[in-house]
Amino acid sequence: MASDFEYFNPGTLDEALNLLSRYGKESKVLAGGQSLLLLMRRKLVAPQYLIDIKGISSLDYIKVNESGDLSIGALTPHRSVELSRKIQQKFSILSEMEQDLAAVENRNWGSIGGNLCHADPAGDPSPVLVALNARLKIASVRGERNVEVEYFARDRFKVDLAHDEILTEIQVPCPALRTGSRYRKFSRMEGGFAIASVAMSITLNAESDICDDVRIVLGAVSVSSRRAREAEKVLIGKEITDELLSEAGDIASEEVDPIDDMRASAAYRRELIRVLVRRVGKEALLRAGNDSWKGISFKDTGRAALLGRR
């Protein structure tokens, strides 16, 4: 059983921020509870005050402005992100990622902001949002600040949030023309925790197939999502070929220091990264408008197919 605590159910963001300002380190924010309540039952955390923000409707929204930039309220359920037409039109990688995130019951209740704040290394939203160059809006009674998703997770289950702060919004810039993005994870079962994952965003030149920009993000292999910057350098400024993608995969697998745990060995994760970078890169290129990669099936996600075809 969890330790005794005092429960608050604020109806507005201001109320929640004032409570956090008052109770600080002795409090925890509840945004659904699918992760926090398990930790409390195991007595891994024991807050004196529990501030339940699930009912703050002002933090549940999906908006696209005139410039095409996307804003998602931190309490927006995963299922809403998955089914949103606005997201499917220009940010389909987000919708696709959600389709393989846990079970539909979890997606109906859990929020995308809560997932980011939990900072599980095997989480799905983080690598995708890093690939999309997303930023986070964070609020407290002292004001607001922004942080890139890339730097939000500091360690396993630790994020860049002070005790009196709440994540309020996820901001995703409109992708440039000829940008393609794709995410794949390798897990033991559908909707399961990732053993390794790769998200990629590739932007091609407006007049050629030269790569102007690329972001390669590795998930579930370190204490947090991280970019494979050396692998990115192999592709930028060049017309990407199968050989270049293979080289990028090799480099990405070596520049990461994979975790070694009950789910998989470090060596196994290195091999998964090597294969995933090449496959995800091909699919991102096709979406960016490089017709030479036609014929790729996005549904070819079988385990044997993933490891048997490089």
pLDDT band at 191 (very low <50, low <70, confident <90, very high): confident
Q: Is residue 308 predicted with pLDDT exceeding 60? A: no
Q: What is the pLDDT of residue 131?
A: 98
List, in order, residues 6 or more apart from 65 with CB less than 8 Å away. Answer: 71
Whole-model pTM?
0.91
pLDDT tens digits, one per residue of 115-152: 999 999 889 999 999 999 999 999 999 999 999 999 99
Whether the pLDDT of residue 300 is over 80: the answer is no
Q: Which residue has the higher pLDDT, 298 or 179?
A: 179
Is the pLDDT confidence value at 86 over 90?
A: yes
Q: Report the pLDDT averaged over residues 35-47.
A: 86
pLDDT at 297: 53
Structural domains of the chain ordered from first start: 6-52 (3.30.43.10), 57-172 (3.30.465.10), 179-308 (3.30.390.50)
pLDDT given at position 35: 84
C-alpha span between 200 and 281 (Å, rounded): 7
Q: Report the distance separating Cα 21 and Cα 16, nearest Å.
A: 9
Strand ranges (E), the chain = 6-8, 27-30, 49-52, 62-64, 70-73, 135-140, 143-148, 153-155, 158-159, 166-172, 179-187, 194-204, 211-219, 226-227
pLDDT single digits (tens) 199-239? 999 999 999 999 999 999 999 999 899 999 999 999 999 99
Give, rounded to a whole angstrom, the gap between the first and last alpha carbons of the chain.
Answer: 48
CB-based burial label for 204 (10 Å; 0-12, 13-18, 19+): buried
CA distance 64 to 177: 17
Residue 30 three-state SS: strand
Q: What is the DSSP letter of 2?
A: P
| Amino acid 304: pLDDT | 39
Token match 């804003």: residue? 71
| CA torsion through residues 289, 99, 38, 13, sign | positive
